[in-house]
Amino acid sequence: MRVLCTSILSPSQTREAIRFARLLSGAGHEVHIATEEHLLGFFLDQGVPATPCLPSLFGDAMTAGEETRDAVGHLRSGAASPDTAALALAGPHLLSQFTALDALAHEFKPDLLLRDAMDVSACLVAEKLAIPQVAMASGAKGFTDPAALLPYLNQWRSTTGLPLQDDPLSLTAHGHLDYLPPSWTFAPHLPPAHAYRQPAFHDPRAKLPSWILGLPTDRPLVYAGIGCALPLFLPAPDGHRPLAGQPDPATVLRSMTEGLSRLDCTAVVSTSGVSVAGLDPAPHVHVVDHVPQPLLLEAVDLFLTHGGYTSVREAISTATPMAVLPRTADQPMNARRVTELGIGGEVTDPTPAGIASTCRRLLDDGSVLRRVKQARLACLALPTVETAVGDLESLVNHHTAPQ
Q: Same domain for 238 and 331? A: yes
Q: What is the pLDDT of residues 132-183, one digit of tens each?
A: 999 999 988 888 899 999 999 999 999 999 999 999 999 999 999 999 999 9
Element (H, E) at 129: helix 121-129
Is 239 domain-assigned? Answer: yes
Q: What is the rounded distance in angstroms from the CA atom of residue 330 to the CA atom of residue 62?
A: 20
Is 7 domain-assigned? Answer: yes
Q: What CATH number should be reported for the domain holding residue 128?
A: 3.40.50.2000
Is 203 domain-assigned? Answer: no
Closest C-alpha to 66, from 44, 40, 93:
93
Q: What is the rounded distance in angstroms from the CA atom of residue 401 to the CA atom of residue 381?
A: 34
Closest C-alpha to 58, from 75, 79, 41:
75
Return phi, psi of residue 187, to 5°. -120, 80
Q: What is the pLDDT of residues 253-310, one digit of tens each?
A: 999 999 999 999 999 999 988 888 888 899 999 999 999 999 999 999 999 999 999 9
Q: Same domain for 122 and 231? A: no
Q: What is the pLDDT of residues 89-102, one digit of tens each?
A: 999 999 999 999 99
Closest C-alpha to 136, from 154, 112, 158, 160:
112
pTM metric for this prediction: 0.90
The pLDDT of residue 310 is 92
Who contacts 398 (Cβ-Cβ below 8 Å, separation ≥6)?
none
Sign of CA dihedral 333, 334, 339, 340: positive
Q: Residue 278: which region, alpha, beta or left (left: phi > 0; alpha: psi -120 to 50)?
A: left
The pLDDT of residue 198 is 84
Return phi, psi of residue 89, to 5°. -90, -30
Confidence of residue 327 (pLDDT cuts 50, 70, 90): confident
Q: Same domain for 36 and 85? A: yes
Q: What is the pLDDT of residues 57-115, one digit of tens each?
A: 888 888 888 898 888 888 887 788 889 999 999 999 999 999 999 999 999 999 999 99
Q: What is the pLDDT of residues 196-229, one digit of tens each?
A: 998 876 677 888 999 999 999 899 999 999 876 5
Is 315 domain-assigned? Answer: yes
Q: Same domain for 244 and 168? A: no
CB neighbourhood size of 227 (10 A): 23
Give the residue numbers spanning the domain of 308: 210-380
What's the number of domains the chain is made of?
2
Q: Same domain for 318 and 258? A: yes
Per-residue DSSP letter, 198: P
Per-residue DSSP letter, 215: S
CB neighbourhood size of 400 (10 A): 6
Q: Same domain for 292 and 273? A: yes
Q: Same domain for 145 and 217? A: no
The pLDDT of residue 199 is 80
Q: Same domain for 138 and 26? A: yes
Q: Same domain for 86 and 216? A: no
